[in-house]
């Protein structure tokens, strides 16, 4: 017998009840879920477990071909969690993959990886989250296994446990939970998240359980860009007070770098961007001055910055937040003679390579990269959200655009291309 598909969230007896709950936040939502719990328990008694769910999703069918379709999201298998996605913030990396520039990009797929969600059902053996928990999906998991040399090491967050299958657009058992409703064809997952859809299936080790008190439209920011910028400064570079910092690219990631550098007392902080509309907010958040490479004639940016640096020998820390390999070279070469550190955050397109003279390293510069700012996902995202709730991290300014419904993702993409957008949050 075919298992019936349903639109109904298993946290609530009816869709109306569920939709009403979306208008609530934090504690109110938990109380509503508690009330609905009786209905949930009753339905569990007569079913043999979670059913497939039909829901709306934006499918990337090919390069820049994004369309809203119905998908069927299969129940979570062992070690997996199915979540109802509340909202998703668009990250530049989604657009990069949609554009075909990602060597790992797969079509057809459900993109999206910066989201807030609620656990709808769990697979066998899942213990760290339960139905109703608020979860921010992590694109880098944290398995916490005593045999995982990466999770044990304080030097990295790069747990490789599911990276192989994740890069192939599949769940850890090598299969997909997503199919197109119209013809049953397979749809690939993306970055272990796929949150351009009303429901997603995640590996349990990718689920950061967070305090539901923070509005979903703010919590989602910690799934990628903001955490990355903060961590690049605090974990990867370990910027110290009174050191000089240059930030290339003042999008959401670059501005989070500026904020984190200001918080540790770096001085001066220079922001570099080809879009001067970014300068006002950058200065409010901590930049002492900003420079537009377009205003420098033929002089390379590294030369301009070195000349303006406090010592005349470059900046103690430089960050690339653009993904442009020429800018990466400038960032490296603008790092201080003898000790400067350059941190690469931006993601470069397929086939792009960075070049510089080895002399840059011989004369003391270092170059590092960071994935998700070095944060161990399941430990760090909840902690960053608590800091935000205590007012220690300000994030409101990052949400420049809001849209609703999965289809609003197309508008979010337009907004991100406009040059005025830091993060466009789509609430489903
Ligand atoms: P964004 O597009 O919002 O910001 C990029 C900024 O760079 C824009 O303000 C743009 O005007 C500026 N810029 C473009 N070309 C420039 C140039 N030649 N010189 C100076 N400035 C220039 O993107 P974002 O969301 O802030 O992400 C930034 C980069 O970080 C992207 O490449 C993204 O894929 C990457 N990223 C990496 C990680 C990671 O873990 N390593 C995480 C998130 C995002
Ligand atoms: N798939 C690309 C690499 C993409 C990439 O570097 N991704 C960043 C995160 S960007 C988030 O917006 C990252 O952290 N990568 C670590 C990882 O394991 O993917 C390619 O070049 O193949
Ligand atoms: Zn991202």
For residue 383, being part of any structural domain is answered with: no
Q: What CATH code is carried by the domain that includes residue 323?
A: 3.40.50.720
For residue 115, being part of any structural domain is answered with: yes
The pLDDT tens digits of the residues spanning 131-168 come to 999 999 999 999 999 999 999 999 999 999 999 999 99
Q: Name the residue among 162, 200, 163, 230 with its Cα closest to residue 380.
A: 230
- With tokens 């850890």, the residue in question is 172
Looking at the structure, do residues 212 and 311 belong to the same domain, yes or no?
no
Looking at the structure, do residues 208 and 231 belong to the same domain, yes or no?
no
More confident residue, 2 or 390: 390
Would you state the pLDDT for residue 49?
86
Res 20 pLDDT > 90: no
For residue 387, being part of any structural domain is answered with: no
Q: Name the residue among 58, 413, 88, 122 with its Cα closest to residue 219.
A: 88
Considering the chain, what percentage of its residues have pLDDT values greater than 70? 89
Least confident piece of the model among 9-23, 59-73, 181-195, 271-285: 9-23
What distance in Å separates the CA atoms of residue 80 and residue 207, rounded to the nearest whole number? 9
Looking at the structure, do residues 142 and 34 belong to the same domain, yes or no?
yes
Q: Known catalytic residue: 321?
A: no
The pLDDT tens digits of the residues spanning 365-396 come to 999 999 999 999 999 999 999 999 999 999 99
**168 alpha carbon to ligand 2 midpoint, in Å?**
13
Q: Name the residue among 297, 333, 299, 286 with its Cα closest to residue 313.
A: 333
Looking at the structure, do residues 72 and 195 belong to the same domain, yes or no?
yes
Q: What confidence category does residue 29 fall into, taking pLDDT thresholds of 50, 70 and 90?
A: very low
For residue 5, being part of any structural domain is answered with: no
What total of structural domains would you count in the chain? Answer: 2
For residue 390, being part of any structural domain is answered with: no
CB 198 within 8 A of CB 84: yes
Q: Known catalytic residue: 189?
A: no
**Per the structure block, which two tokens stand in for 365?**
């510069």
Q: Name the residue among 346, 384, 341 with its Cα closest to residue 236.
A: 341
Please, how many CA atoms are within 13 Å of residue 249, restricted to the half-sphere of its CB? 28
**75 alpha carbon to ligand 1 midpoint, in Å?**
36
Looking at the structure, do residues 364 and 423 belong to the same domain, yes or no?
no
**345 alpha carbon to ligand 1 midpoint, in Å?**
8
For residue 60, being part of any structural domain is answered with: yes
What distance in Å separates the CA atoms of residue 397 and residue 385, rounded to the nearest whole number? 16
Would you state the pLDDT for residue 40?
38
Would you state the pLDDT for residue 32?
52
Looking at the structure, do residues 366 and 418 belong to the same domain, yes or no?
no
Would you state the pLDDT for residue 148?
98
CB distance 327 to ligand 1 below 6 Å:
yes
Looking at the structure, do residues 45 and 73 belong to the same domain, yes or no?
yes
Q: What angle do CA 360, 363, 368 make, to 5 degrees?
A: 55
Least confident piece of the model among 57-61, 134-138, 417-421: 417-421
Please, what is the average pLDDT of the chain?
91
Res 8 pLDDT > 50: no
Q: What confidence category does residue 9 fall into, taking pLDDT thresholds of 50, 70 and 90?
A: very low
DSSP conformation class of 147: T
**320 alpha carbon to ligand 2 midpoint, in Å?**
15
Would you state the pLDDT for residue 125?
97
For residue 3, being part of any structural domain is answered with: no
- For residue 256, the ligand closest to its alpha carbon is 1
What distance in Å separates the CA atoms of residue 375 and residue 260, rounded to the nearest whole number? 14
Looking at the structure, do residues 231 and 218 belong to the same domain, yes or no?
no
What distance in Å separates the CA atoms of residue 189 and residue 83, rounded to the nearest whole number? 14
Q: Which atom of ligand 1 is nearest to the CA of 345?
A: 41
What distance in Å separates the CA atoms of residue 373 and residue 384, rounded to the nearest whole number? 12
Helix spans in 322-376 (H):
325-333, 359-362
- Which of 104, 112, 347 for mutating ligand 2's site (highest number of atoms within 8 Å of CB)? 347
CB distance 251 to ligand 1 below 6 Å:
yes
Res 11 pLDDT > 50: no
Q: What angle do CA 387, 392, 396 make, to 5 degrees?
A: 95
- Residue 100: domain span: 15-223+395-427
Q: Which atom of ligand 2 is nearest to the CA of 103?
A: 22
For residue 410, being part of any structural domain is answered with: yes
Res 104 pLDDT > 70: yes
Would you state the pLDDT for residue 17?
54
The pLDDT tens digits of the residues spanning 279-335 come to 999 999 999 999 999 999 999 999 999 999 999 999 999 999 999 999 999 999 999
Q: What CATH code is carried by the domain that includes residue 85?
A: 3.90.180.10
Q: Order across the sheet with 53-62: list the strands.
A: 53-62, 65-73, 178-180, 186-187
Looking at the structure, do residues 152 and 67 belong to the same domain, yes or no?
yes
Looking at the structure, do residues 102 and 251 belong to the same domain, yes or no?
no
Mean pLDDT of 34-55: 60
Q: What confidence category does residue 349 fall into, taking pLDDT thresholds of 50, 70 and 90?
A: very high
Would you state the pLDDT for residue 120?
98
Looking at the structure, do residues 49 and 81 belong to the same domain, yes or no?
yes
- With tokens 């990396």, the residue in question is 93
Looking at the structure, do residues 60 and 116 belong to the same domain, yes or no?
yes
What distance in Å separates the CA atoms of residue 165 and residue 111, rounded to the nearest whole number? 16
Q: What confidence category does residue 35 fall into, taking pLDDT thresholds of 50, 70 and 90?
A: low
């Amino acid at each position: 017998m075919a298992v019936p598909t349903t639109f109904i969230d298993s946290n609530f007896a009816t869709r109306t009840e569920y939709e009403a709950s979306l208008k609530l936040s934090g504690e109110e939502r938990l109380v509503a879920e508690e009330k609905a719990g009786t209905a949930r328990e009753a339905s569990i008694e007569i079913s043999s477990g979670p059913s497939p769910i039909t829901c709306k999703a934006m499918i990337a069918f090919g390069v820049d071909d994004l369309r809203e379709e119905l998908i069927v999201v299969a129940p979570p298998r062992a070690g997996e969690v199915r979540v109802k996605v509340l909202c998703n913030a668009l990250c530049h990396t989604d657009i990069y993959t949609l554009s075909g520039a990602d060597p790992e990009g797969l079509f057809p797929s459900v993109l999206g990886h910066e989201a807030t969600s609620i656990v709808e059902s769990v697979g066998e053996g899942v213990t760290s989250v339960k139905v109703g928990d608020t979860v921010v999906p992590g694109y880098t998991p944290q398995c916490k296994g005593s045999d995982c040399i990466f999770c044990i090491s304080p030097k990295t967050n790069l747990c490789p446990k599911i990276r192989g299958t994740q890069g192939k657009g599949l769940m850890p058992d090598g299969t997909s939970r997503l199919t197109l409703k119209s013809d049953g064809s397979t749809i690939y997952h993306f970055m272990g998240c796929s949150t351009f859809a009303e429901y997603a299936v995640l590996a349990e080790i990718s689920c950061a359980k967070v305090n539901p008190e923070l509005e979903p439209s703010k919590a989602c920011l910690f799934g990628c860009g903001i955490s990355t910028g903060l961590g690049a400064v605090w974990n990867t570079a370990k910027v110290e007070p009174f050191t000089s910092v240059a930030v290339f690219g003042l999008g959401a990631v670059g501005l989070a770098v500026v904020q984190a550098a200001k918080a540790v007392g770096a001085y001066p902080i220079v922001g570099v961007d080809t879009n001067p509309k970014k300068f006002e907010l950058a200065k409010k958040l901590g930049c002492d001055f900003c420079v537009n490479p377009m205003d420098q004639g033929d002089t390379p940016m590294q030369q301009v910055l070195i000349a303006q640096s406090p010592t005349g020998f470059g900046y103690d820390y430089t960050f690339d937040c653009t993904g442009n390999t020429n800018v990466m070279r400038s960032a490296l070469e603008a790092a201080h003679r003898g000790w400067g550190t350059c941190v690469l955050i931006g993601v470069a397109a397929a086939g792009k390579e960075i070049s510089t003279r080895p002399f840059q390293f011989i004369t003391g510069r270092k170059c590092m990269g960071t994935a998700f700012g070095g944060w161990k996902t399941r430990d760090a995202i909840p902690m960053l959200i608590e800091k935000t709730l205590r007012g220690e991290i300000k994030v409101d300014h990052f949400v420049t655009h809001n849209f609703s419904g999965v289809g609003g993702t197309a508008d979010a993409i337009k907004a991100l291309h406009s040059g005025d957008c830091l993060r466009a949050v789509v609430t489903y």
